[in-house]
Structure 1
């Protein structure tokens, strides 16, 4: 590694930059190419997963449709005949009744054959009444089933409508349709049974059975024509494979199991990977499965990887050539820049580099020229600022004299009023002096809530001198909130608005209510009055000005109102995100202004929680 670095340092700057930048660009190119291939692969698998799910739904639809046909045929036969009478061995049937029963059932079976052509393999009636003769294709005595394995399954079920487990077709009993394939192999069927019970004893006196082969039930030929890449499997309620769309699948997938009722997953059978989706029907117990071979899904990516490799190689060659050429062009200006930097070091800030082109070196040249201009400007600015700072200090010293003079004058007037026993005027002058001190004393942009509320109380006391008992002021602030720090002078302008706008042209008494609360970490301060309020149009205009931080124009006074906007701007600048102002008003009812201030509980300021 050290040898390579040493050899690299011996190369020219152009080739050093070429090699380094080529490596920097090649690595992301390789990563991007690999990532793109993975994205293509993942998209193919995702599309395949959707396709498997869609085909599973089609398979479910086929099976449910055929089962619905079986149930419809069964119900049609049951509702059209009086089986509870004819199948009961306790009833003595006349020859006419027996003939009528046979004619009626045969006629209904013909209707079913016509409506559901070639749908079912068998629809037979088993009777406990031996007065009814056996007919090869549809009527048998129920004792024929005693030695069948599935008879106990039927009788043990408490339901009268029973979905049997998949079993081998019983060729010894009659068929609705003669299927040649049933004679040559053991075909699997799904049976559905309907018990016929004695109305009085509830004992089973007969049984109706309808069978459909699994291949007919699935009807996979249409599905395979639509998408030959998907294979279809059916497992019975014991998770035994009873149907596969091809013989190879019957051997391959016989041993797979399903841990859940439904789902989709990847499985490995032998050396092959498959994507499967499955769903088990709670009524029939059949698990329906759709399968796709991952190898076939990803077969289309074989050409993509070759194409991506070719693109990557061409990109590497282009990066190396382009970087080398660009480096040779850009570095022509380096010597000139180095020369100008030497001038700057010697204190000459009036030097400039000639800029041509729009490449990186040109931008560096422009930046150098801007830097030289700024340095030259900063030198001039520093001289001017020193002069301005001295002038500001002089003005500040002079400004301190004016408030001090006003405080002393107000204090002298207050003392004279007390001497002349004008105590009301003396108290109001004291409040006015405190208001001036509070307004002009800005050591910090934040104060405690208690100080803001105290300032409002002093302002209200001054206004009481004018309005006396016509003014009703209420304030509610829990003790545990009084030490929270908030922006200074954000409440007095809102209370002042009650007098300048709210109570103008309105009939007393005038109520002002200030409330402070803090649900969770938000401090809520409301200032509410019962003044004249405002209409919806004026309210929307003010809210729009607040949202856009624009000055509110007062039409009645033909001037701009800045109090509310000033408060909103200072809350937005000083307080955390989420703080703000909201105004509610109703004509001739009053106005309510709500300040929401987010309180950062973890920040401390002299022991008090800060906004």
Structure 2
């Protein structure tokens, strides 16, 4: 086989496809033969399916008829007697009343035995009234049930008419008729209970029980005489097998499970296949099953299938062997190439295909490997170039802002020295030193929000040296947000713009508000002033420049403004996608600049989170 495969791999793809299609030509003949066999087999199974369902209906009919008889006997006894009175322990019964109770119940039991001859194994009455004597075959005190497993099953039910679970016949109590066989083996019975409740308190004061053995409930002897090839099974409400018409089947079918309320299905038990029809009775909780052996169903095909099976086996062997060979040849390399292309789409350019042979697919594999090598080299080169360019842009943008700030700060200090005492300047020079250290220290492009806000406070203190109480500054930032990392020096240019543009040629008081908060997964920082604001056209012009990341032209000074654009560019480069800046303003109504920064991971109190 290996020699054949090697020879085939040396052939061209055309010859390989030709061989495969030549071999597939035998399939129609095999399909025709198999189809005929399947038609015969399916017809037999359909007939068997109908038969097993019909027998299930007969089983259901037998059981329902017997259950109705049990219910009728129970109802007849309840309706004919005044159990609410006689079974109530709070009622003092006279001798006459006791005798009347015993007489009337016994008469009714005689009628029931006459009408339903040999159908029940037991019909007994349990009473809470100890004034009523216990009679051997039908009357007992309810204390008899206290230590029974099924007592709680009865009492926990809210219904007065209860179908108990199948259980072993209790031989310690009497029965309706004397069945000696019940005294010698553990016969399973289906019990039906009728609670007798106090009319006033609704408390259970008595119980009537009717028992019927499962074998009598099913009455399978009649069914087996009609269809001996059908077996009958009964499962209790816990899906435990409690009856099998064939005793040999008890252990075989004990593990069957029924996922639905009713239906038909194929099952395998041991080495045999069976067709079953089943349905669950909502009243009793019993699942009724009719079973047929598939081997017996298909026995009639033995004479027809010998030749068909032989042809089918030869055809299948032939097709399997050559289809397998064809699949290995035809799809092995193509499947591998498809897998490698998927890796390429996922960004893995280091994958390679092993090349063997000299046919067309081998040449495609070689071309694929060359393409992957070139893509990998180009990707590495592009990543390195982009990284270098990005770092250069960030450093260039950071370098632009430091001289701009220093110039404005020194100008403020110069003006203050002209109008104030020199000793006041000392504190402000300390603040200026801190500001200089903060702006020149660039170990990382990111800092905590708390450091950026502290820098703003120092800047405001310096500005107070000039404007004193005319300047009102407020800042709000929740404590749990102060450890979030943001780009450095993105707030000072925004606050500085309030003085340069917002308060220019405007009488005090001047107000600046800085607010930091979270909205969904976004950190929102707003800087708002009560300055002179700007008109709609100028606002639209500035927002357009921000959206396009281009400089804002200052008509008054005839030069470009870099502060706001610098901040916006650094936010765009350092922060995740979706971060940015937006400006709101009204003429003579102040300006509000809002920074939106996407936070990639969850915010935790006291922890450092990256943006």
Q: Residues 301 and 105 from structure 1, CA distance in 2 versus in 1: closer, same or farther, beyond 3 angstroms? A: same
**1:450–1:482 CA contact under 8 A, matched in 2:** yes
Cα deviation for residue 290 of structure 1 reads 1.0
Q: Structure 2 CA distance, aligned partners of 1:346 and 1:253?
A: 52
Cα deviation for residue 518 of structure 1 reads 55
Q: Residues 127 and 270 from structure 1, CA distance in 2 versus in 1: closer, same or farther, beyond 3 angstroms? A: same
Question: Which residues in structure 2 correspond to 1:143-292 (within 5 Å)?
Answer: 143-292=143-292
**1:533–1:591 CA contact under 8 A, matched in 2:** yes
Cα deviation for residue 159 of structure 1 reads 0.6
Cα deviation for residue 463 of structure 1 reads 95
Give the aligned partner of residue 364 of structure 2: 364
Q: Residues 317 and 119 from structure 1, CA distance in 2 versus in 1: closer, same or farther, beyond 3 angstroms? A: closer
Cα deviation for residue 282 of structure 1 reads 1.6
Q: Residues 467 and 259 from structure 1, CA distance in 2 versus in 1: closer, same or farther, beyond 3 angstroms? A: same
SS at match of 2:228: coil
**1:514–1:528 CA contact under 8 A, matched in 2:** yes
**1:19–1:320 CA contact under 8 A, matched in 2:** no
Q: Residues 207 and 31 from structure 1, CA distance in 2 versus in 1: closer, same or farther, beyond 3 angstroms? A: same
**1:414–1:427 CA contact under 8 A, matched in 2:** no
Cα deviation for residue 531 of structure 1 reads 83
Give the aligned partner of residue 43 of structure 2: 43
Give the aligned partner of residue 65 of structure 2: 65
Q: Residues 299 and 197 from structure 1, CA distance in 2 versus in 1: closer, same or farther, beyond 3 angstroms? A: same
**1:418–1:426 CA contact under 8 A, matched in 2:** no
Which protein has greater RCO, CA pairs closer than 8 Å, 6+ apart? 2
Q: Residues 515 and 250 from structure 1, CA distance in 2 versus in 1: closer, same or farther, beyond 3 angstroms? A: same
Cα deviation for residue 52 of structure 1 reads 1.1
Cα distance per residue 1:386-436 (max 9 Å; x no partner): 999999999999999999999999999999999999999999999999999
Q: Structure 1 CA distance, aligned partners of 2:387 and 2:275?
A: 81
Structure 2 residues without counterparts, runs of 5 or longer = none
Cα deviation for residue 567 of structure 1 reads 77
- Compare 452-461 and 75-84 and name the one that shifted more: 452-461
Cα deviation for residue 51 of structure 1 reads 1.1
- Compare 389-398 and 121-130 and name the one that shifted more: 389-398
- Compare 43-52 and 164-173 and name the one that shifted more: 43-52
Q: Residues 29 and 158 from structure 1, CA distance in 2 versus in 1: closer, same or farther, beyond 3 angstroms? A: same
Cα deviation for residue 181 of structure 1 reads 2.0
Cα deviation for residue 167 of structure 1 reads 0.5
Cα deviation for residue 134 of structure 1 reads 0.8
Q: Structure 1 CA distance, aligned partners of 2:333 and 2:584?
A: 65
- Compare 542-551 and 294-303 and name the one that shifted more: 542-551
Q: Structure 1 CA distance, aligned partners of 2:553 and 2:115?
A: 83
Q: Residues 570 and 381 from structure 1, CA distance in 2 versus in 1: closer, same or farther, beyond 3 angstroms? A: closer
Cα distance per residue 1:164-205 (max 9 Å; x no partner): 011000011111122222122100100000001111111111
Q: Structure 2 CA distance, aligned partners of 1:604 and 1:128?
A: 67
- Compare 479-488 and 456-465 and name the one that shifted more: 456-465
Cα deviation for residue 33 of structure 1 reads 3.4
**1:534–1:585 CA contact under 8 A, matched in 2:** yes
Cα deviation for residue 296 of structure 1 reads 0.9
Give the RMSD, CA atoms, in angstroms. 13.0
**1:494–1:564 CA contact under 8 A, matched in 2:** yes
Question: Which residues in structure 2 correspond to 1:236-385 (within 5 Å)?
Answer: 236-306=236-306
**1:22–1:319 CA contact under 8 A, matched in 2:** no
Q: Structure 2 CA distance, aligned partners of 1:448 and 1:568?
A: 18
**2:494–2:563 CA contact under 8 A, matched in 1:** yes
Cα deviation for residue 523 of structure 1 reads 59
* TM-score scaled by length of structure 2: 0.47
Q: Structure 1 CA distance, aligned partners of 2:197 and 2:325?
A: 96
Cα deviation for residue 276 of structure 1 reads 1.1
- Compare 357-366 and 486-495 and name the one that shifted more: 486-495
* TM-score scaled by length of structure 1: 0.47
Cα deviation for residue 384 of structure 1 reads 83
Q: Structure 2 CA distance, aligned partners of 1:350 and 1:127?
A: 87
**1:475–1:513 CA contact under 8 A, matched in 2:** yes
Q: Residues 380 and 83 from structure 1, CA distance in 2 versus in 1: closer, same or farther, beyond 3 angstroms? A: closer
Cα distance per residue 1:461-482 (max 9 Å; x no partner): 9999999999999999999999
Cα distance per residue 1:527-554 (max 9 Å; x no partner): 9999999999999999999999999999
- Compare 11-20 and 422-431 and name the one that shifted more: 422-431
**1:414–1:426 CA contact under 8 A, matched in 2:** no
Cα deviation for residue 39 of structure 1 reads 0.3
Cα deviation for residue 340 of structure 1 reads 63
**1:18–1:324 CA contact under 8 A, matched in 2:** no
Cα distance per residue 1:222-275 (max 9 Å; x no partner): 111111111111111111111111111101011111111111111111111111
Cα deviation for residue 129 of structure 1 reads 0.9
- Compare 221-230 and 548-557 and name the one that shifted more: 548-557
**1:17–1:327 CA contact under 8 A, matched in 2:** no
Q: Structure 2 CA distance, aligned partners of 1:323 and 1:266?
A: 31
Q: Residues 428 and 586 from structure 1, CA distance in 2 versus in 1: closer, same or farther, beyond 3 angstroms? A: same
Q: Residues 271 and 433 from structure 1, CA distance in 2 versus in 1: closer, same or farther, beyond 3 angstroms? A: same
Aligned residue-pair number: 611
- Compare 230-239 and 500-509 and name the one that shifted more: 500-509
SS at match of 1:523: strand
Q: Residues 141 and 271 from structure 1, CA distance in 2 versus in 1: closer, same or farther, beyond 3 angstroms? A: same
Cα deviation for residue 49 of structure 1 reads 1.1
Cα deviation for residue 142 of structure 1 reads 0.8
SS at match of 1:389: helix
- Compare 41-50 and 423-432 and name the one that shifted more: 423-432
- Compare 71-80 and 592-601 and name the one that shifted more: 592-601
SS at match of 1:118: coil
Q: Structure 2 CA distance, aligned partners of 1:13 and 1:588?
A: 80
Cα deviation for residue 335 of structure 1 reads 53
- Compare 372-381 and 425-434 and name the one that shifted more: 425-434
SS at match of 2:604: strand
Question: Which residues in structure 2 correspond to 1:377-416 (within 5 Å)?
Answer: none
Moved over 2 A (4+): 1-34, 306-611
Structure 1 residues without counterparts, runs of 5 or longer = none
**1:604–1:610 CA contact under 8 A, matched in 2:** no
SS at match of 2:195: strand
**2:20–2:323 CA contact under 8 A, matched in 1:** no
- Compare 182-191 and 334-343 and name the one that shifted more: 334-343
**2:11–2:359 CA contact under 8 A, matched in 1:** no
Q: Structure 2 CA distance, aligned partners of 1:351 and 1:253?
A: 55
Q: Residues 319 and 590 from structure 1, CA distance in 2 versus in 1: closer, same or farther, beyond 3 angstroms? A: farther
- Compare 67-76 and 563-572 and name the one that shifted more: 563-572
**1:41–1:301 CA contact under 8 A, matched in 2:** yes
Cα deviation for residue 34 of structure 1 reads 2.7
Cα deviation for residue 346 of structure 1 reads 69
